[in-house]
Chain A
């Protein structure tokens, strides 16, 4: 982790552009009670790959924002990337974002997504999105939530290309929460995608996900990161550590922008502040400590363990089942999924193996967790 500090700090510092007195220059009302404390507001900008779009390194995921004033203020503060999707709140989210951005629409980069699975359905959804967002075009239009190339058919790609030709989408891409190590290289090889929106955070450093993202960025694909808080780092007590995870991502050289969810003005202020700060040695210590704490149990779903169990256990799946019970109090669900495995896998008892053949590269104590699952569910 430390080996990258210098390079990333250099990059983020170099890209940081001070926006002195941004509030007054944008004609805002008195923001003294809500603007970040301290010296001038700093926004850092990056270029979204070959699209050439200039974006703030912190964008806004609008999914759970309930009050449009937060979106409006984010745009006023200078955030330039806003993300929504046709499916969010069954369409209500796009409507809210469109209304909240209002006349600022053309000053920002706006992305939305489609879950439709055929050309006609996608075209229909895009027209609906444009209508709800009150715009003639979106800057980035994503296929929503894909985890494998097998989910993407030729007519879907045709629909993306057609949208670009018609001027309804300036650029196109795919959003993905899993399977990135296979999906992103496929996107690069396919050559028709401009942007990838991927789950990415500090827990994925040195995994196949990071390698895929780095490789994509080198080819000019724009990289947008989501799930950047790694599951709620904001809830940690110490103010200094709350945004460390966000800082890690925005300082990553392959990531152009991020879309943390924001529900209130305070979160917005915190995230804007993150743009003005570099990743410190203390931040690295905090992240390393957190990783160490969760290492024995936290599966990063990197796939390295696939096929390595001498008894043939689907290790990552069993780890997930035991997490259902231990992490989420969903014992019944964990047991149900465990018992749905092939009978020869349900019958495996790890104490019968003299030595575990599964070596997790991230330190998950696999045999211990497998035994735990067998004790709980078998």
Chain B
């Protein structure tokens, strides 16, 4: 039995590779041809390709990247497919790299297609496509849209953004994102989600247990002189914090949330009530 299992391993690996090759192909766009072998990258050698930008991938939980160059006439096309540790990481990388002045399209979990580039995330994959065109003013939106759609069809994985992003109130919201480390610049808030608003920003951090969430809340409260109780969720405080202005942080079960950069702690608490009501 064990022999059978071992014999299956290479086949399974090959099947996985075949799926990856299936959506990483120049032939998905008519006329484009592969100009060189696919370049694989790991955390160790990503610096060789992305220079200091590599850190931005690694911090989100980077498993590997495959990069493919295609050619059509004088124009070249580079497709970078990053495999992240999970779908939230892939979405997070997309969200941090997206053009905040352009809308997010329904491509996988989210994507953007522009005249010379496209990005999207689906499942644990984050994809960046760049056209290096002889005419920098040329518009390749149609080709890129077709390519992206074909890649999405061939990819497996989640097609909805992280659930927590839907908990943020949407009124006056300008941007949402996944923060891989130190939400609000506070090391105690290890990993979470943020939403930027016309005024202030909201955050959500999901802890392992209600007890661990309570412990984090206690530590944070001790940071700020003059913190007072607020009536939000299971427990909360509001304060005036250095660099974060009016702040309110609450706990609801094992979830921490709140608002920062508001004019006062009271106003942060008032907004936090709305956020807490949306958290299951």
Contacts and interface: CB of A to CB of B under 8 A. Distances in A.
A349 interface: no
A332 B66 CA distance: 13
Interface stretch (B166-174, B182-190, B207-215): B182-190
A119 interface: no
Interface stretch (B45-53, B142-150, B270-278): B45-53
B23 interface: no
A63 B96 contact: no
A33 B51 contact: no
B51 A177 contact: yes
A72 B243 CA distance: 8
Contact of B96 (A32, A92, A145, A328): A92
Interface string B27-62: 000000000010010111101101111011001000
Contacts of B42: 324, 328, 330, 333
A288 interface: no
Interface string A64-80: 11110110110000000
A378 interface: no
B52 A264 contact: no
Contacts of A29: 240-243
B182 A337 contact: no
A85 B52 contact: yes
B51 A64 contact: no
A318 to B, nearest CB: 14
Contacts of B136: 121
Contacts of A90: 97-99, 119
Contacts of B40: 333, 336-337
A67 B52 contact: no
| Chain B interface main SS type | mixed
A320 B40 CA distance: 13
A1 interface: no
A35 B231 CA distance: 29
Interface string A29-45: 11111100000000000
Contacts of B56: 63-64, 88-89, 93
Contact of A87 (B13, B44, B53, B182): B53
A265 B186 contact: yes
A73 B184 CA distance: 13
Nearest to B51: A145
B89 to A, nearest CB: 14
A332 B17 contact: yes
A264 B186 contact: yes
Contact of A263 (B37, B119, B185, B241): B185
A261 B185 contact: no
Contacts of B223: 33-34
Interface in A326-378: 327-328, 330, 332-333, 336-337, 340
Interface in A178-213: 178, 199
Contact of A264 (B119, B177, B187, B240): B187
Interface in B199-224: 222-224
A28 interface: yes
B268 to A, nearest CB: 15
Contacts of B187: 263-267
B225 A63 contact: no
A279 interface: no
Contacts of B78: none
Interface in B81-105: 96-100
Interface string B222-236: 111100000000000
Contacts of B244: 69
B55 A261 contact: yes
A91 B52 CA distance: 14
A173 interface: no
A73 B186 CA distance: 12
A33 B226 CA distance: 12
Nearest to A145: B51
A280 to B, nearest CB: 26
Nearest to A90: B97
Nearest to A147: B48
A65 B53 CA distance: 12
Contacts of A258: none
B110 interface: no
Interface in B140-171: none
B179 A92 contact: no
9 contacts: A29-B242, A64-B180, A64-B181, A66-B180, A73-B185, A91-B99, A115-B51, A263-B59, A264-B186
Given A34-B223, A328-B43, 11 more contacts: A29-B241, A29-B242, A30-B242, A64-B59, A69-B185, A89-B96, A90-B119, A121-B136, A226-B52, A263-B187, A264-B181
